């Protein structure tokens, strides 16, 4: 039943890399082992009502213990690269000072395991598991956290820099600021726009300082950042909808892209935020605007925006997250990055979809997900054909995992996880992706 991919490596640029992605809190489990300190997600999951199924990442996919078989699984998919994240509280249990040797040892084993299997490690240093001790001091609303982050980046690179070439500082700073401090859906669950914009600024500052630290430690490091970008489309041709789409784009996309790539916050959005804008010190924007070796783009859907709020394209397909399937948005986004900015080479660092998967014996016939990957990879290819320098694609995710506020109720994996016995089962989408990644390499 699983159909092999019609797409092959020959449809993508020479040297294009295929990979899979995960993050530490979503898969590792072992939340209290080997000296790991508590993170804001441990705390958040214990607050009633925060996680829809009442779960936590305490055990998750038990990857902390099962990493050798998980790396074998990745290898068996024929991919080139693995994007993983590092749990800061395993490295520094309180987020500053004392280093926990067992934490560094774990990531050293993991990275060595990738290299033994011919997989290139793509490390993300912050995928949301902030040490709780730093949150107790104000978290990202406190400027100190930026300096602490750069220190942690240095510690990691001093140990692994001879083996890890690619570093993303932050994953999706929009999520760790707006979604976490203003919308309140992610840890620490606040509802305060001033605090959210202050957090966003300190995240960007921490990024800039971490880039400098990484470059001073690892000469050949490729350093970048990962943004979640949602291209905004007006719901109708009315001027009011166009204006609403533009302001959505300012808050979601330009607020992060422009400090990083231009060295300024977008003026229209700055004015719209009024009294809530962050305290920007002299020199901050120079620190934030570091030359980057790559820009990581996470793309799931578009925003369809009307003056009265988000609109819904009734004729479209939606995933189990209720996110619209809109592959054209990925092509448009990539072309726009090239047109509007001096953008470095791009990686698609996440793209994927949750569906209501059904395990039938040893099979999961997730045809909708196969279609999602195929259409979005075609969208990447279309952008490359229009001259966008896109170097690789990471499917989100290797396996089903802890989907934040949705707990285990949303499955994004290529691989199905039976949480009863931690069995991993290849979905049809994994077999499809394998047939693409295992296709003959281009020789040019
Ligand atoms: C990203 N939103 O999260 C993350 O990088 C992953 O850890 C996550 O599993 C994946 O996408 C799927 O959700 C997001 O509300 C979470 O717009 C929420 C949003 C966007 C991205």
Instruction: Identify any residues that bridge with 222 across adjacent strands, giving them in sequence order.
Output: 166
Ligand 1 atom closest to Cα of residue 321: 13
**Is the pLDDT confidence value at 1 over 90?**
no
- Give the whole-angstrom CA distance, residue 341 versus residue 245: 19
pLDDT of the residue at 262: 98
Annotated ligand binding at 406? The verdict is no
pTM as predicted: 0.98
Instruction: Identify any residues that bridge with 347 across adjacent strands, giving them in sequence order.
Output: 296, 392
Instruction: Identify any residues that bridge with 399 across adjacent strands, giving them in sequence order.
Output: 415
Q: How many CB atoms lie under 10 A from the CB of residue 109?
A: 12
CB-based contacts of 265: which residues, under 8 Å, 6+ apart? 255, 258, 259, 277, 280, 285
Query: Please, what is the average pLDDT of the chain?
Result: 98
8 A C-beta contact, residue 27 and residue 401: yes
Q: 175 CB less than 6 Å from ligand 1?
A: yes
pLDDT of the residue at 179: 98
Q: Vertex 140, ends 135 and 144: CA angle to 5°?
A: 90
CB-based contacts of 101: which residues, under 8 Å, 6+ apart? none
8 A C-beta contact, residue 50 and residue 426: no
Q: Residue 383 to residues 29, 345, 346, 371, 405: CA-CA distances in angstroms?
A: 38, 13, 11, 18, 33
**Is the pLDDT confidence value at 14 over 80?**
yes
pLDDT-based confidence at residue 443 (cuts at 50, 70, 90): confident
Q: Strand, helix or coil at 127?
A: coil
Per-residue model confidence as pLDDT tens digits over 222-281: 999 999 999 999 999 999 999 999 999 999 999 999 999 999 999 999 999 999 999 999
Annotated ligand binding at 202? The verdict is no
Mean pLDDT across the stretch 303-330? 98
Helix axes 101-116, 63-76, angle to 10 degrees: 20
pLDDT of the residue at 444: 80
% of the chain with per-residue pLDDT over 70: 100
Q: Strand, helix or coil at 212?
A: helix
Per-residue model confidence as pLDDT tens digits over 102-112: 999 999 999 99
pLDDT of the residue at 442: 87
Mean pLDDT across the stretch 306-323? 97
Per-residue model confidence as pLDDT tens digits over 166-177: 999 999 999 999
pLDDT of the residue at 3: 84
- Closest-CA residue, ligand 1 atom 12, reads 403
Region for residue 107 given its phi and psi (left: phi exceeds 0; alpha: psi -120 to 50; beta: otherwise): alpha
Q: What is the CA radius of gyration of the chain?
A: 21
Q: Is 172 a catalytic residue?
A: yes
Per-residue model confidence as pLDDT tens digits over 116-152: 999 999 999 999 999 999 999 999 999 999 999 999 9
The encoded tokens of residue 84 equal 């993983």
Annotated ligand binding at 378? The verdict is no
- Give the whole-angstrom CA distance, residue 300 versus residue 151: 32
Q: How many CB atoms lie under 10 A from the CB of residue 439?
A: 17
Q: 172 CB less than 6 Å from ligand 1?
A: yes
Q: 182 CB less than 6 Å from ligand 1?
A: no
Instruction: Identify any residues that bridge with 357 across adjacent strands, giving them in sequence order.
Output: none
Q: Where are the alpha helices (DSSP H) in 118-262?
A: 132-136, 144-160, 173-174, 193-217, 239-249, 255-261
Q: Which strands, in side-by-side order, build the sheet including 232-234?
A: 232-234, 303-306, 309-310
pLDDT-based confidence at residue 16 (cuts at 50, 70, 90): very high
Most ligand 1 atoms within 8 A of CB, residue of 20, 297, 355, 396 to mutate: 396
Q: How much helix, strand and coil, in percent to the nearest 5, is found in the chain?
A: 45, 15, 40
Q: Provide the terminal-to-terminal Cα distance of the chain, rounded to the nearest Å.
A: 34
Mean pLDDT across the stretch 51-55? 98
pLDDT-based confidence at residue 188 (cuts at 50, 70, 90): very high
Most ligand 1 atoms within 8 A of CB, residue of 60, 175, 232, 329 to mutate: 175
**What is the 8-class DSSP label of residue 293?**
S
| ipTM over the 0.85 cut-off | yes
Q: 399 CB less than 6 Å from ligand 1?
A: no
CB-based contacts of 237: which residues, under 8 Å, 6+ apart? none
């Amino acid at each position: 039943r699983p159909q092999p991919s019609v797409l092959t490596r020959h449809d993508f640029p020479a040297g294009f890399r295929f990979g899979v992605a995960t993050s530490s809190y979503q898969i590792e489990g072992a939340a209290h082992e080997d000296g790991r300190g508590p993170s804001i997600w441990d705390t958040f999951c214990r607050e009633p009502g925060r996680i829809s199924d009442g779960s936590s990442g305490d055990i998750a996919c038990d990857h902390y213990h099962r990493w050798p078989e998980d790396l074998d699984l990745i290898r068996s998919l024929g991919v080139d690269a693995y994007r993983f994240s590092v749990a800061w509280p395993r490295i520094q249990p309180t987020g500053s000072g004392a280093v926990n040797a067992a934490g560094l040892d774990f990531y050293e084993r993991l990275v060595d395991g990738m290299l033994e299997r011919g997989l290139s490690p793509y490390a993300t240093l912050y995928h949301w598991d902030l040490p709780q001790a730093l949150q107790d001091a104000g978290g990202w609303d406190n400027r100190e956290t930026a300096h602490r982050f750069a220190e942690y980046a240095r510690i990691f690179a001093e140990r692994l820099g001879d083996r890890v070439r690619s570093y993303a500082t932050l994953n999706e700073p929009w999520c760790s600021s707006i979604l976490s401090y203003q919308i309140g859906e992610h840890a620490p669950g606040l509802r305060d726009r001033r605090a959210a914009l202050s957090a966003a600024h300190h995240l960007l500052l921490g990024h800039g300082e971490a880039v400098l630290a990484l470059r001073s430690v690892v000469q050949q490091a490729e350093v970048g950042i990962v943004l979640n970008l949602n291209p905004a489309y007006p719901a109708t041709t009315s001027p009011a909808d166009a204006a609403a789409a533009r302001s959505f784009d300012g808050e979601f996309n330009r607020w992060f892209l422009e400090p990083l790539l231009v060295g300024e916050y977008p003026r229209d959005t700055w004015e719209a935020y009024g009294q809530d804008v962050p305290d920007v010190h002299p020199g901050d924007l120079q620190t934030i605007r570091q030359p980057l070796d790559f820009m990581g783009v996470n793309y799931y859907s578009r925003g369809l925006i009307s003056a009265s709020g988000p609109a819904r394209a009734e004729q479209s397909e939606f995933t189990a997250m209720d996110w619209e399937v809109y592959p054209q948005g990925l092509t448009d986004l990539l072309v726009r990055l090239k047109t509007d900015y001096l953008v470095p080479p791009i990686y698609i660092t996440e793209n994927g979809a949750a569906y209501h998967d059904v395990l039938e014996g040893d099979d999961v016939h997730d045809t909708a997900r196969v279609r999602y990957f195929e259409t979005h990879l075609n969208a990447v290819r279309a952008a490359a054909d229009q001259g966008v320098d896109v170097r690789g694609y990471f499917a989100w995710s290797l396996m089903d995992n802890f989907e934040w506020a949705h707990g285990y109720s949303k499955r994004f994996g290529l691989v199905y996880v039976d949480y009863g016995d931690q069995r991993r089962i290849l979905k049809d989408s994994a077999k499809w992706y394998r047939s693409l990644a295992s296709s003959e390499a281009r020789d040019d």
